[in-house]
Amino acid sequence: MRRKKLQIDFDKVVRLIDEGYTQIQIGKELGVGKNTIISYLKENNLTTKPRYEDLVNLRFGKLVVLERAENSKDRRRRYLCKCDCGRSIIVKAKYLNNGDTRSCGCYKNMENYRMNNYKEASKKIGEKYGKLQIVDIVLNKERGKYLMVCSCDCGSISLKCYTKMRQGKTVSCGCYGRELRSKRQSANSSNKDRWYFIKCNEKVYCRSSYEVVYANYLMINNIDFEYEETCFKLSNGKRYTPDFYLIKDDKYIEIKGIDYNILDKSNQKEKFDLFSNYYNIELYLWKDLVSICKLPYKSYSSYRYQANKLNIEIEAYFANMVYIKNK
């Protein structure tokens, strides 16, 4: 005698499947055995959902999962995610788990941007400007731009900004500027104080003791810089030479002991303001140097006193005592 077909509520089975019930749990809910449920599901082309891990608060690349979102039309799990760039996006769970989606799209756009930049930057290899020949490129991760690895006629290797090379603002590793400064200093030997710092085993003379402080800070922290790299012609016809150029940051630094509002020789504030309209530049006063360089004394005279006690020049004290002691 043929067995009577079991009557099972189809809609209820679908609802239980959507709620994540297993085959055993569905059988208990309907009062039938597991094998009966397996046969019923197969006959009606239904499958139970596998157990899954809750992804809330987990990180996938640049995405952090915030909460469960409404299922997709094909009944796939989806999650609301927050990208590191600040945008929110809804992503299917399977794309998070298999690594297909790692950001809201900004990461892919950035990779494409970098790849295009890399191709363009690579074309510059072999070009020569002044004493510099481009031999390679390197990515500045902080700024997302490529710097040129240059070989100078003097034999040194340095990193340079391509735009400044094209504009003729950078023509050497710094040796040409040192040569010009040496000529200027030889012609003007009447300065009362011959401030200097030692870079690449060479004395570099500068205009103030505050510049000595900052130069030694940069060297002890392995920050690539050039001193008085370029003399710029401003829009009013006057010329202006910033004190320091930080290569990787593509930023200029002007060092002053006294605020322009208190003492301003030769209208330096006007030149500084004009220059800042076109270039990235910051002004550091003595109080700024104390904070940035983490100096132990706030009074400059204290350093002169310490140097005199040790019977050494104050430049040597800054180079060999202050930063090593505080590093």
Whole-number pLDDT of residue 65: 92
Question: Which structural domain range is residue 227 located in?
Answer: 193-325
Residue 52 maps to a domain: no
Residue 117 lies in a domain: no
pLDDT 10s digit of each residue in the chain, 327 long? 455 556 788 888 888 877 777 778 888 888 888 788 888 888 888 877 666 667 888 888 888 999 989 888 888 889 999 988 888 999 998 888 877 788 887 776 666 666 667 778 888 888 988 888 999 888 877 666 788 899 888 878 888 888 888 877 788 887 766 666 555 554 444 444 567 888 888 888 888 878 888 998 899 889 999 988 778 878 777 888 899 999 888 899 999 877 777 776 677 888 888 888 888 999 998 888 888 888 887 777 787 788 888 887 776 777 665 543 333
197 and 318 together in one domain: yes
Q: Indicate whether 201 and 321 sit together in one domain.
A: yes
Q: Which of 148, 39, 58, 142 is nearest to 96 (CA)?
A: 58
**pLDDT tens readout for residues 262-299:** 776 677 888 888 888 888 999 998 888 888 888 887 77
CATH number of the domain where residue 269 is located: 3.40.960.10
How many separate domains does the chain show?
Answer: 4
How many whole angstroms separate alpha carbon 149 and alpha carbon 152? Answer: 10
pLDDT at 189: 43
Predicted confidence at residue 106, as pLDDT, reads: 76
**How far, in Å, are 145, 158, 163, 196 from residue 117 at the CA level?**
8, 20, 14, 39
Q: Are 289 and 245 in contact (CB under 8 A)?
A: no
Mean pLDDT, rounded, of the chain: 79
User: Which residues neighbour 205 within 8 Å (Cβ) at sequence distance 6 or greater?
Assistant: 181, 185, 194, 195, 196
Q: Is there a single domain that holds both residue 242 and residue 303?
A: yes
